[in-house]
Structure 1
Amino acid sequence: MESLGDLLSQMKSPQLRRRSEELNARMMSEPLVRDLCIRHPELTEEHLLRGMAKLYQYVNDSRHCAACPGLDRCPNDFPGHFTKLTVENNGAGPQLVDRQVTCPKQLRYEMDLSIKKRIHSFYVDDRALQQGYDEVEILSKDGARVPAVSQVFRYINQTKESGLSTRGLYLEGHFGTGKTFLMCYLLHELAKEGYSGVIVYMPEFVEDLKSMLQESQKLKETTEVMKQADLLIFDDIGAENLNPWVRDHVMGSILNYRMNRKPTFYTSNYSLKALEKHLSFTSKDGEEIHKGQRLMDRIAPFVDVVTVSGNNKRGKV
């Protein structure tokens, strides 16, 4: 279909009248225009002729949308939108009114973008946060983990209904049972409700903190993000090589701020008891039971334990 601009550019041509009549006849025979006339019998030919440019845009956008090549290649004049035509009566008779309406693909893109902006990831593969989620697939993937999945689903639904709790979840289980995946799903679902979230892969985070010793501003900004997020997830806690400074001054500061304020979540191969033992030992000072207990006092009372059973799915297609 020729652009309306191309047609109008021929106005100085002697063939203008014929071309104009052809365009009008073509528009009048369009199924969308005929349907519009059936729904609005008050429209006369004069009304349609006065609104010919709007009819043309409406039909053109509709054709593009029917053969949509994808949002990134949208051929409409206003990408991600289409022309919606309505008939309104302003007292001087019926009038064609055109509006630009956001298409479902654009709405989905904008929602996905807003979700991404609410979630901050430290060292966690972004693919885990960006993939699509299907509740039926999550439940059916491994029957052994159904109780854990159901508990995570309940937490999500309760938060949607009643708002943010100060209690989080502690997902414990063997390697590859989907603990991180479930926490990413939780983040994704609650980000759709407007909550902000941070997920931190502990082994790499602790290593990176060592380089921040000389970057006090970066360290302050990083810890502040973790303190203020609605949802904070420490992924694979217990797998890091802990040192006293990270445990007592970084982790301790973050958890001390969040307890009784905002929920913190954890995934680990350790039980809470085994995690306390891990937190009590550092490569520098050896075993310091009371310091491990002190940090656990900011973890254990503020979580519900979820045991994630099942088979190791890493490396499986």
Structure 2
Amino acid sequence: MESLGELLESMKSSALRRRTAEITEELLKNPLIQAMRAEYPEIDDRVLRINLSKLYQYAGDQANCKQCPGLDRCPNDFQGHYSKLDIQRVNGTVEIYERKTPCSLQVAKTNEDQIRKRIRSFYVDDKALNEGYDHMEIMAKDRLRAPGVHQVFKYIKETKENGLSPRGLYLTGSFGTGKTYLMGYLLYELAMAGYSGVIVYMPDFVEDLKTMMQDGPKLKEMVETMKNCDLLIFDDIGAENLSPWVRDHVLGSILNYRMNRKPTFYTSNYPLDGLERHLSFTSKDGEEAHKGQRLMNRIAPFVDVVHLYGENQRGKF
């Protein structure tokens, strides 16, 4: 909306006086201004003229908000905010103060932005974390997975009520049953409660680590982030092509630090014993059962297993 100052500045003096009188008359008839004057009889025409710009802005913002076109197309001069007037009596006179107040849409966006800042993803499509989550849709989409969904919901509820536990969850099930989606939901819900979280897509993470060996600072920053975040999710663990260095010095280091401290979560097509066999084999050294067992000792005792049954939902609309 064009400010009153800009509007009047463009006019010559005679036209300005005429337009000022018109605006004053319009404001006198505005229901918002009439209601304010009824509450504060001290607001006479003199006070009105002194504060004409504030009243004009206030009335214009309120009119725009009444026909809100959405946050992205907000016509107010301070997008997502509207003018609010504070009326104070000072030494027998009335003072009118204007302040900008965020609307409900702006407040919701700010809250959403703060939640998103608590969540980081490595090699996971951000779109999967930004589509929004519908509690009822999660429950109704496939009744076969209801018991597993209930376990995830219970974990979220208990964490909100009792604080962070060092135990995480291990979601296992066939392809397309919603394991990643549920972990994204868990991250989002607990981010709203103030917890930070990281989700890592294991196949791409492991591949990228091979090139990251030459970039020590970047590797250290990523590992430290995974060690210290409140919630860490290894998505699709078991689908990666492990090397001894990744298994023993990267993954092992992260898990060794987090156990008994902070919860780690996993999604996998493998049950726990199948994951142990996978972790025992590397592309370089072949099968090393004791090393797979050593890593599983940092996983299995610190998770509750959630079996997610159901149909493959990928590609369904």
TM-score bin, normalised by smaller chain:
over 0.9
In structure 2, C-alpha distance between the alignment counterparts of 1:36 and 1:101, rounded to whole Å: 18
Asked if 1:146 is matched to 2:181, the reply is no
Q: Deviations over 1:195-236 (max 9, x none)?
A: 111101111111111112222222212111111111100000
| Worse-superposed segment, 68-77 or 51-60 | 68-77
In structure 2, C-alpha distance between the alignment counterparts of 1:71 and 1:296, rounded to whole Å: 49
Q: Report how far residue 18 of structure 1 moved.
A: 2.6
Q: Secondary structure at the residue paired with 1:275?
A: helix
In structure 2, C-alpha distance between the alignment counterparts of 1:137 and 1:21, rounded to whole Å: 57
For 1:175, the equivalent position in structure 2 comes to 175
In structure 2, C-alpha distance between the alignment counterparts of 1:15 and 1:251, rounded to whole Å: 75
How many correspondences in the alignment? Answer: 317
Q: Report how far residue 115 of structure 1 moved.
A: 2.2
In structure 1, C-alpha distance between the alignment counterparts of 2:93 and 2:50, rounded to whole Å: 13
Asked if 1:298 is matched to 2:298, the reply is yes
| Worse-superposed segment, 106-115 or 238-247 | 106-115
User: For residue 125 of structure 1, what is the amino acid of its counterpart?
Assistant: D
Q: Report how far residue 41 of structure 1 moved.
A: 4.2
In structure 1, C-alpha distance between the alignment counterparts of 2:74 and 2:213, rounded to whole Å: 49
For 1:8, the equivalent position in structure 2 comes to 8
For 1:84, the equivalent position in structure 2 comes to 84
Asked if 1:221 is matched to 2:241, the reply is no
Unaligned runs of 5+ in 2: none
For 2:263, the equivalent position in structure 1 comes to 263
In structure 2, C-alpha distance between the alignment counterparts of 1:252 and 1:309, rounded to whole Å: 29
The answer to whether the 8 Å contact 2:3/2:57 transfers is no
In structure 1, C-alpha distance between the alignment counterparts of 2:7 and 2:213, rounded to whole Å: 67
For 1:74, the equivalent position in structure 2 comes to 74
In structure 2, C-alpha distance between the alignment counterparts of 1:233 and 1:123, rounded to whole Å: 12
Cα 1:287/1:25, change in 2 over 3 Å: same
For 2:124, the equivalent position in structure 1 comes to 124
Q: Secondary structure at the residue paired with 2:213?
A: helix
In structure 2, C-alpha distance between the alignment counterparts of 1:2 and 1:187, rounded to whole Å: 43
Q: Secondary structure at the residue paired with 1:175?
A: coil
Cα 1:2/1:108, change in 2 over 3 Å: closer
Q: Deviations over 1:16-46 (max 9, x none)?
A: 3332221111111112212323444453333
Asked if 1:18 is matched to 2:15, the reply is no
The answer to whether the 8 Å contact 2:212/2:218 transfers is yes
Q: Report how far residue 2 of structure 1 moved.
A: 5.8
Q: Secondary structure at the residue paired with 1:115?
A: helix
Q: Deviations over 1:255-285 (max 9, x none)?
A: 0000011110000111111111111122222
For 1:99, the equivalent position in structure 2 comes to 99
Q: Report how far residue 48 of structure 1 moved.
A: 2.7
User: For residue 13 of structure 2, what is the amino acid of its counterpart?
Assistant: S
The answer to whether the 8 Å contact 2:83/2:100 transfers is yes
TM (norm. structure 1) is 0.94
Q: Report how far residue 74 of structure 1 moved.
A: 2.4
In structure 2, C-alpha distance between the alignment counterparts of 1:151 and 1:44, rounded to whole Å: 64
Q: Deviations over 1:164-194 (max 9, x none)?
A: 1111111111110100001011111111222
For 1:196, the equivalent position in structure 2 comes to 196
User: For residue 286 of structure 1, what is the amino acid of its counterpart?
Assistant: G
| Worse-superposed segment, 249-258 or 81-90 | 81-90
Unaligned runs of 5+ in 1: none
For 1:245, the equivalent position in structure 2 comes to 245
What is the RMSD computed on CA atoms of the aligned residues? 1.8
For 2:274, the equivalent position in structure 1 comes to 274
In structure 2, C-alpha distance between the alignment counterparts of 1:293 and 1:99, rounded to whole Å: 63
User: For residue 43 of structure 1, what is the amino acid of its counterpart?
Assistant: I
In structure 2, C-alpha distance between the alignment counterparts of 1:51 and 1:99, rounded to whole Å: 13
User: For residue 164 of structure 1, what is the amino acid of its counterpart?
Assistant: L
| Worse-superposed segment, 26-35 or 2-11 | 2-11
Q: Report how far residue 69 of structure 1 moved.
A: 3.0
Cα 1:208/1:22, change in 2 over 3 Å: same
In structure 2, C-alpha distance between the alignment counterparts of 1:244 and 1:202, rounded to whole Å: 15
